[in-house]
Amino acid sequence: MDYFQAVQEGKTRVQRAIKLLQEVAGPSYPVLFIKTGRTDWTPVSEENLYSIIDGKNNTAAVVICDSDGNTKAMSTWLSREDAAKSASLLQSRGIDMFRGDVKLPI
């Protein structure tokens, strides 16, 4: 797959992840369209898993990633309590928790 095709497919998958995350956590943003750590152009995978990333001053963000940990969508920084509530809502919708280290472009 060439770069353009990988990004287009990744964008479609990221948009679905953003929509899902916005429903439970409010404003959310795209993160990765293609997988990191690969030598070929591969779009992020279709499956959606959630994780919570700790921030500063008692904040956290909720992310949607694929099974390799490539973050597709990220919420704004929330209180840790609100992030936990959002994660609980995702879990109640059948979204499983990602238990590894998520991959971010930072």
The set of long-range contacts for 52-61, using a CB threshold of 8 Å and a minimum separation of 24, is 52/83, 52/84, 52/87, 53/102, 53/104, 54/80, 59/83, 60/84
Domain with 29, as residue range(s), is 3-97
Which pLDDT score, from 0 to 100, does residue 106 have? 76
The full 3-state SS of 43-74, as one line of letters, equals ECCCCCEEEEEECCCCEEEEEEECCCCEEEEE
Which pLDDT score, from 0 to 100, does residue 40 have? 92
* CB half-sphere exposure, 20, CA atoms < 13 A: 27
- Establish if 26 belongs to a structural domain: yes
Asked if 19 and 59 count as a contact pair (C-beta separation under 8 A), the reply is no
The candidate with the shortest Cα–Cα distance to 26, out of 82, 68, 66, 72, is: 82
- Establish if 48 belongs to a structural domain: yes
pLDDT in tens, 33-89: 999 988 899 999 999 999 999 999 999 999 999 999 999 999 999 999 999 999 999
Is 0.95 surpassed by the pTM of this model? Answer: no
Average pLDDT score over residue span 10-38? 96
Q: Which residues, at least 6 apart from 81, have a Cβ–Cβ distance to it below 8 Å?
A: none
How many domains in the chain? 1
Which pLDDT score, from 0 to 100, does residue 38 have? 84
- Establish if 76 belongs to a structural domain: yes
Please report which confidence band the pLDDT of residue 30 belongs to, taking 50, 70 and 90 as the band edges.
Answer: very high
- Establish if 42 belongs to a structural domain: yes
- Establish if 106 belongs to a structural domain: no
- Establish if 102 belongs to a structural domain: no
- Establish if 65 belongs to a structural domain: yes
- Establish if 14 belongs to a structural domain: yes
